[in-house]
Amino acid sequence: MKKKLILIMIAAMLSAHAVFAGTGTGKVAVIYSGRSQVNRHVLQFFGEEIRNRNSSYQFEAFDVKEGINQSDYIALVVINTGVSSGINRDLSDFIDSSPDKSRLILVSLYRGRQDLTVETVPAQSNPDKIDAISSASIWEQSGLSSLFNKNKGGNPRQMHQQWINEVFRLIDRRA
């Protein structure tokens, strides 16, 4: 029963146009590609952060393959997962076809990356002309890494807190 409830909650979070009542006002789209475990973690984390911050932003989650009117949103947070470098092809196509790249915020959570530091690249320094944030896709330490803490930069929760803080800062700048 508990597993079924958890699966229903995750499915609701990942459903098309899932709305999160979220410091500023306006609508923010969270764009992802596929229903991976990492994407589920990201959307769950966004939901927690929106509630914790008592944000007045309205967040809506969309799979990249869905149609979206980008002009309806003050910001579009593109969640890039499932790759060890670069950008997922579907997300890259979405970014390339975006009429107003100043609304985009790219968050890349790279598979296999052990360094738990967060890197940011402002739009003016990025060849794609969008604000970008990158970190590892690790959500919890397990096995030997939890015993010996081989990950550089701290623990995964702190790393994710750091990139989400940067995302909210960038959204506030656009509001």
- Domains of the chain: total: 1
163 is a domain residue: yes
Residue 64's CATH number: 3.40.50
Q: Where are the alpha helices (DSSP H) in 80-155?
A: 89-97, 143-148
3 is a domain residue: no
Q: Are 42 and 20 spatial neighbours (Cβ–Cβ below 8 Å)?
A: no
Per-residue pLDDT tens digits for 123-149: 999 998 999 999 988 876 554 444 444
> pLDDT class for 154, splitting at 50, 70, 90?
low
Q: What is the pTM of this model?
A: 0.80
Share of the chain above pLDDT 70, in %: 77
Per-residue pLDDT tens digits for 3-35: 444 444 444 444 433 444 444 469 999 999 999
Share of the chain above pLDDT 90, in %: 57
DSSP 3-state percent helix, strand, coil across the chain (nearest 5): 40, 25, 35
**β-strands 119-121, 104-110 pairing:** unpaired
154 is a domain residue: yes
Give residue 126's domain range. 13-174
Q: What is the mean pLDDT of the chain?
A: 82
4 is a domain residue: no
162 is a domain residue: yes
